[in-house]
Structure 1
Amino acid sequence: MTAVAIKMYTEQEYLELERAAEYKSEYYRGEIFAMSGASRYHNRITENLSGEIYLALKGKSCQSFSRDMRVHIPENTLYTYPDLLIVCGKPEFRDQEFDTLLNPSVILEVLSSSTEGYDQGKKFHLYRSLRTLVEYVVIDSQEIRAAVYRKGSNGMWILASEAADLEGSIEIGHIGLTLKMADVYAQVEDLR
């Protein structure tokens, strides 16, 4: 049996292809990975989070971006699209296209069956290379479950807040926001 060669791309080749593409892809160490579409619940939860975060940030020096803002981590080459992110202070971009952010403060990922392991494992590990990242939030789209991981002053990441029912809440401490699970999962039926 012969091995199939994997085409490798430079970061510049990836960006040129990505900026012209009709669909989104991630990049890591020379390889390009197509992203799958999101479920109805995934989209509903993302919209609910976006609304809550917009209200919390109104009039503050932080701003949020949705899943169309690409993030790059130069230390490990990853280019990816978080479901939501928050940047406090002046956004820093890779180039003059202003479509690839380098300095998110908080990243939020809505988990789905196809991404749950990656989002909580390898991707979280890669995100931790971002010097500006202080909180990582994961929200499950298949069951009522959410967690906030926070970087301590010693650089170690800890589980800072979690909830597993509609009466619970999580706290994004960096922006002083308590998210009620009932608001996060509003109009999402059939989850336990």
Structure 2
Amino acid sequence: MNALPQEATRVTPEEYLELERTSEVKYEYFDGEVFAMVGASLNHNRINRNMIQKIGIQLEGSPCEALSSDMRVKIEALEKYTYPDIAMVCGDVNLEKKKGLDTLLNPIVIIEILSKSTEAYDRGTKFQHYQLIPSLQEYILVSQHDCRIEKYVREAEGKWIYSLYGEMGQSMTIASIGCELLLSDIYYRVEFE
């Protein structure tokens, strides 16, 4: 999804959560600003569906689960709330429960499907912010415009190792949850421009 800044005055995290509780629109929050989430393209939706389905099948019977873009994630170090396209968690699910809302605190994997309007943000500032989540082990960026997936894996020393996948015949392993995905499955029915 794409975020568009709102022309509102600065708000507190509590005011943001109250807005989230009463609004039909999803918002992200950072540093007193709220950003409305706008609709996604057909390619974006197909990639999201394909990944959730394939990951879900592989996670049956495991302590891990994949959560869709409706699961809000909090970066506690920044008091930032965001909606990744897919968040995965294993074992105990740690939630912040405020204003009757659930917010995930301990994702292990975050996947963002890139759009032209958010790609630079997803690669830069947003990734820097996600790195502040202690539980996060893998960050995956999926292009919706061509066959290209970039994966970052956190090493024990806090270093991030980069891998690139760019051919339909390749498979990508998400080691922290024990899944392997074929790029041809991720991009099933996706039409590149």
- Greater share of strand: 2
* 3-state SS of paired residue (1:34): strand
> 2: distance between equivalents of 1:117 and 1:56?
31
Aligned to 1:100: 103
Residue 75 of structure 1 aligns to a residue whose secondary structure is: helix
1:125 aligns with 2:128: yes
Matched length: 186
> Please, which of 21, 24, 27 is the counterpart of residue 25 of structure 1?
27
Preserved CA contact (<8 Å) 1:70 1:81: yes
Could you list the per-position Cα deviations for residues 109-135 of structure 1 after superposition, in whole angstroms to 9, with x for gaps in the alignment? Answer: 111111111111111110000000000
Helix, strand or coil at the partner of 2:78: coil
In structure 2, give the amino acid aligned to 1:83: D
Partners of 1:77 and 1:142 lie apart in 2 by 32
Q: What does the per-residue CA deviation read over 1:9-54, in whole Å, with 9 as the maximum and x for residues that have no partner?
A: 1000000001111111110011111122100000000000000110
Alignment of 1:48 onto 2:50: yes
The residue identity in structure 2 corresponding to 1:30 is: G
> 1:26-175, aligned counterparts within 5 Å?
26-95=28-97, 97=100, 99-159=102-162, 161-175=163-177
Alpha-carbon RMSD across the aligned residues, in angstroms, is 1.4
Unaligned runs of at least 5 residues, structure 2: 1-6
Between the aligned partners of 1:147 and 1:10, the Cα distance in structure 2 is 34
- TM-score in terms of structure 2 length: 0.92
Give identity over the alignment, percent.
44
Residue 178 of structure 1 deviates from its aligned partner by 1.7
Does the residue aligned with 2:97 lie in a helix, a strand or coil? coil
Structure-1 separation of matches of 2:102 and 2:116 = 28
Give the AA of the match of 2:157. N
The answer as to whether partners of 1:162 and 1:169 remain within 8 angstroms in 2 is no
Q: Write the distance in 1 (CA, Å) between the matches of 2:136 and 2:81.
A: 15
Query: For the Cα contact (< 8 Å) 1:69–1:81, is it kept in 2?
Result: yes
